[in-house]
Amino acid sequence: MGRTLSRALGLVLLAVLGGCSPLYAYRSAAGHLALLWRQRSIEKTISDPATSPGRREHLKLVLDARRFAVEHVALSPSRDYRDWTPVDGAVTWLVYACPRDSLSPKLFFGYPYKGHFRREQAEREAAAWEKKGFDSTVVPASAYNTPLPISDPLPSSVLLYAPGDLAELIIHEFTHGTVNTRDQSFNEAMASWVGERGVKEYLAGRFGPDSPELAEWESGRARSETLGVLYDELAKLLEEHYNKGGPGREKLFDWARAEAAKTGRELPEKLNNAVVASHRTYRGEPALFDALHAKNGGDWRKTVASLKALDRRSPWDALRAASR
């Protein structure tokens, strides 16, 4: 309990130093403390005869994906996700807030979002930003990686994921523990790219290139890409509109809904700048990462080293130069 309490106190200190209110810092520490208090060893759970076969296989995949992330993708070894903790649904709720004439999200001590462990707290904060004249949205997060030397447990809710989605999450989060810049949007886009490219290789190696596990992940990825391209186009049109000034953005949102409907998809009923910004945070410019990886001959060790060498203050500019 002593180490667990010290970790929670570390989160309080981090939040206070980052400019958060004492109440928010307390809630953050309490939420994380609850996760740590209930955590259980993955290896012990696997060896426990009472563990269901389905959970045992998912936990084995977690350990295998951790190994793959380090040995194949050349990500830093980590103590994260050696334990799991019971969670019902999302582990945190992220609040995004944007001006109504810009897609630049408000930064919360460097992050383009602010996390809450309880949904109602996130929704109250989002409503407060709306009253201040901002667009806002609340996005559920299935897992997270604390910026402290803490062994984060894996939320049990992700153990319901398909193999590809679960392995992708592990690789994504291990990327956060390997490369870190001052631009948190870059960090999220980079981790998303590594997770997507890495998991495809993982699934092909573990289950086979013609496996249903890989086919299921690729199908889901194709649907996500269709939606991502639409959000990219919407963001471009919105930025052009805001540069010109004047009202009329609702026509662009209506256009996006109509385009989504053509592919059988639905956009949120509440569509605004914060919603678009939340999607951009995790997407970025994947073509730049692809170009860098190709330049390195598809060698993950070289690519990860190149990412580590980028200027931490302006990583996007550095990536554009490095990928030429």
DSSP letters spanning 96-158: EEEETT---PPPBTTBSSEEESSHHHHHHHHHHHHHTTEEEEEEEES----SSS--PPEEGGG
Q: How many domains does the chain have?
A: 1
Pairing of β 92-99 and β 114-116: antiparallel
Q: pLDDT tens-digit profile of 254-307? A: 999 999 999 888 898 899 999 999 999 898 899 999 999 999 999 999 999 999
Angle between helices 163-176 and 184-207 (to 10 degrees): 140
Q: Is 275:230 a contact under the CB 8 Å cutoff?
A: no
Give the separation between CA 125 and CA 131, rounded to whole angstroms: 10
What number of other Cβ atoms are within 10 A of residue 262's Cβ?
9
Give the separation between CA 268 and CA 140, rounded to whole angstroms: 14
- pLDDT given at position 33: 67
Task: Give the global pTM.
Answer: 0.88
Q: pLDDT tens-digit profile of 152-162? A: 889 999 999 99
- pLDDT given at position 32: 67
Residue with tokens 């383009």: 112
- pLDDT given at position 248: 83
Pairing of β 134-141 and β 114-116: unpaired
Distances (CA, A) of 138 to 105, 116, 221: 13, 10, 23
For residue 206, the enclosing domain spans 2-322
Give the separation between CA 64 and CA 264, rounded to whole angstroms: 35
Angle between helices 184-207 and 212-244 (to 10 degrees): 160
**Averages of pLDDT over each 10 residues, the chain, 324 residues:** 37 41 60 77 97 96 98 94 91 94 90 90 96 96 74 90 97 94 93 97 98 97 92 95 87 95 88 95 92 98 98 96 94
